[in-house]
Amino acid sequence: MPNIWFRFLLVNGLIGFLSGYSAAQGPKAGPRPAFDKILHTFDSNKDGSVEKSEVPLRAWRRLSQADSNGDGLVTRKEYEVIRPS
């Protein structure tokens, strides 16, 4: 029954291909929120910037990409650089 095995492998390969394809697409990344919204939500010391201790770790991993001078603070200016308008 080589024909059945061939079909079996073909279908499995196709499913793998499709699931790999959709995984590569990833979850649709929405637009980054406005900095005002971030400040309103996270800026607990009201200094106009966000730092690691103010945001959940997962959010900081994304936010910290904006910290271009590496001082541990993300300012509006830094954020606007990475946020596509």
Using CB under 5 A, list all residues that contact Ca ion: 43, 45, 47, 67, 69, 71, 73
Residue number with CB closer to Ca ion (36 or 71): 71
Residue number with CB closer to Ca ion (22 or 69): 69
* Phi, psi for residue 16 in degrees, rounded to 5: -60, -40
Minimum CB separation from Ca ion for residue 40, in Å?
12
Q: How many CB atoms lie within 10 A of CB 56?
A: 10
Minimum CB separation from Ca ion for residue 84, in Å?
19
Using an 8 Å Cβ cutoff, are 82 and 66 in contact?
yes
> Please, which residues have CB within 8 angstroms of residue 48's CB and are 6 or more apart in sequence?
39, 75, 76
Residue number with CB closer to Ca ion (60 or 67): 67
